[in-house]
Amino acid sequence: MDLDKEIERWVRKLGLNVVIPPNAPEPFHISTAPPTGMPVVDVVRPKDAEFYVIAMGIAVHPDHKSALASMREQDRRRFLLELKRAVVSMGVDFAFLPPDAEIPDAIQVSRPVLAEGLDAQRFLDEYYRVRNAGLLVIISFAETFRKAAGQTSLYA
């Protein structure tokens, strides 16, 4: 599909690194990241689909999982609910993984984008919508569970 090549070109023009996952089953799947390596945003076109999915997966650091587990249940639920509301307000889909876990191992943020009529500006708007929602998740965890003064956070 010509649009596949265009999307890859648009991403490269931004100075982002592009990697094609070697075992990806989809006809189009690229993982993109700035030269620093983080955050990684994937762009995928499923087989026979007329849309792309822009997605970002965020692993919850073991220290943050421990901190969530040590919170009172009410506080933990409030933190996660506020995070969900903030992400949804950005106009993206999200999933806590595994779905029924009290404390997620990972959080996926995504947005489908129709291929028909897709231009560079619309693609970039949606790409950065997903990226910014993912960064909001990372920052929320980093700020809420910041380590004691003098210690370096893995995220901030």
Task: Answer whether residue 69 is part of any domain.
Answer: yes
The tally of domains found in the chain comes to: 1
Structure pTM? 0.89
Task: Answer whether residue 81 is part of any domain.
Answer: yes
Task: Answer whether residue 43 is part of any domain.
Answer: yes
Residue 100, pLDDT score: 87
Task: Answer whether residue 95 is part of any domain.
Answer: yes
Task: Answer whether residue 153 is part of any domain.
Answer: no
Task: Answer whether residue 87 is part of any domain.
Answer: yes
Residues 145-155, buried b or exposed e (16+ Cβ, 10 A)?
beeeeeeeeeb
Are 5 and 120 in contact by the 8 Å Cβ rule? The answer is no
Task: Answer whether residue 156 is part of any domain.
Answer: no
State how far the alpha carbon of 138 is from the alpha carbons of 7, 14, 58, 73, 122, in Å: 26, 22, 7, 21, 25
Q: What is the CATH number of the domain that holds 45?
A: 3.30.1460.10
> Which 8-state DSSP code applies to residue 152?
P
- Tell me the pLDDT tens digit for each residue of 89-141: 999 999 999 998 999 999 999 999 999 999 999 999 999 999 999 999 999 99
Q: Is the pLDDT of residue 155 over 90?
A: no
- Tell me the pLDDT tens digit for each residue of 28-61: 999 999 998 899 999 999 999 999 999 999 999 9
Residue 1, pLDDT score: 60
Are 18 and 30 in contact by the 8 Å Cβ rule? The answer is yes
- Tell me the pLDDT tens digit for each residue of 61-88: 999 999 999 999 999 999 999 999 999 9
State how far the alpha carbon of 102 is from the alpha carbons of 41, 65, 71, 76, 88, in Å: 26, 10, 12, 9, 19
Task: Answer whether residue 152 is part of any domain.
Answer: no
Q: Give the residue numbers spanning the domain of 100.
A: 2-144
Residue 119, pLDDT score: 96
CA distance 11 to 44: 13
